[in-house]
Amino acid sequence: MDPESIAEAVMKRLEDAWNAADGAAFGAPFAPDADFVAIRGDLHSGEAIAAGHQQIFETIYAGSTISYTVLQARELDDRVILAHVRGTLNAPTGPLAGETDALASVILVRDEHRIAALHNTLVASG
């Protein structure tokens, strides 16, 4: 599979999990030692990813939907893929109520189709 297809397949899993508000499913594509930098600049790892998302699915992002678009994906070597992904969030309430874009760098390990690291930043308006 080419890098774009791998990235799109993995992001589809995250998108479906977010839209089902399913933290465990959201955490599943991440490697056990994965690193996750969220939009507030906080670093999480491994199992905290599923639990942390379940918490926000039930609170600030309750009822929200997300749509991911892979902007680019390339191989850093024969095992590691780097993708840049735009996420468009629609949230009915909470600190990001309305529509918000974010840009994520996603590092994937080819053999396992798992996420080794993800770093996400809100796209500033204007």
Task: List interacting residues with a copy of itself (CB under 8 A).
Answer: 33, 35, 37, 39-43, 71-72, 74, 76-77, 79-80, 82, 84, 101-103, 105, 107, 109, 116-117, 119-124
Q: Taking the complex as a whole, how short is the minimal distance between the CB of residue 114 and a copy of itself, in angstroms?
A: 11
Indicate the angle between helix axes 3-19 and 48-58, nearest 10 degrees.
Answer: 50
Question: Do β-strands 43-45 and 80-91 pair in parallel, antiparallel, or remain unpaired?
Answer: unpaired
Q: Taking the complex as a whole, how short is the minimal distance between the CB of residue 23 and a copy of itself, in angstroms?
A: 22
Q: What is the DSSP letter of 10?
A: H
- Rounded CA separation 110/61 (Å): 31
Measured from the CB atom, the residue of 99 and 124 that comes closer to a copy of itself is 124
